[in-house]
């Protein structure tokens, strides 16, 4: 879904004109962006939470040359969906993820 589709859907379901729906969506985006820029989290009960986290400086590899590069520290926005909209995961999928984490930590300690 793109922004235009979302505006159309909001207009139809809330019985608003497309211009009013666009204004409402733009106001939501502006307020959410402003809060995140200030380092605040945005919690929407039943939908999820937007938070700002800090990433540490880390080493990387230039994709074309293969040369090592330093990726600078920065702030990133993360979204954690509410349990009501998060797709259900199978028990075996959780076990595989746990095994992957254990394998990764084993290789790091070598």
Number of compact structural domains in the chain: 1
Mean per-residue pLDDT, 40-69: 95
| 54: in domain | no
What is the residue range of 11's domain?
Answer: 1-40
Query: Regarding predicted confidence, which is higher, 84 or 96?
Result: 84
| 99: in domain | no
| 49: in domain | no
How many whole angstroms separate alpha carbon 85 and alpha carbon 88? 9
| 84: in domain | no
Of 57, 92, 95, which is closest to residue 103 (Cα–Cα)? 95
Other beta carbons less than 10 A from residue 89's beta carbon: 9
| 5: in domain | yes
- Interval 1-41: pLDDT, tens: 999 999 999 999 999 999 999 999 999 999 999 999 999 99
Mean per-residue pLDDT, 73-91: 86
| 74: in domain | no
Mean pLDDT computed over every residue of the chain? 86
Ranking 50-54, 58-62, 93-97 by mean pLDDT, the lowest is 93-97
| 23: in domain | yes
| 46: in domain | no
Give me the phi and psi of 74, to 5 degrees please.
-160, 170
The pLDDT assigned to 93 comes to 58
What are the distances in angstroms from CA 52 to CA 16, 38, 49, 57, 58? 32, 9, 10, 16, 18
């Amino acid at each position: 879904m793109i922004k235009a589709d979302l505006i159309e859907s909001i207009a139809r379901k809330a019985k608003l004109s497309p211009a009013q729906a666009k204004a409402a969506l733009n106001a939501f985006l502006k307020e959410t962006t402003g809060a995140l820029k200030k380092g605040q989290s945005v919690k929407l009960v039943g939908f999820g939470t937007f938070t700002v986290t800090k990433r540490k400086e880390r080493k990387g590899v230039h994709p074309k040359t293969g040369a090592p590069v330093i990726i600078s520290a920065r702030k990133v926005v993360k979204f954690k969906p509410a349990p009501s909209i998060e797709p259900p995961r199978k028990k075996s999928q959780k076990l595989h993820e746990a095994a992957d984490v254990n394998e990764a930590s084993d290789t790091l300690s070598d």
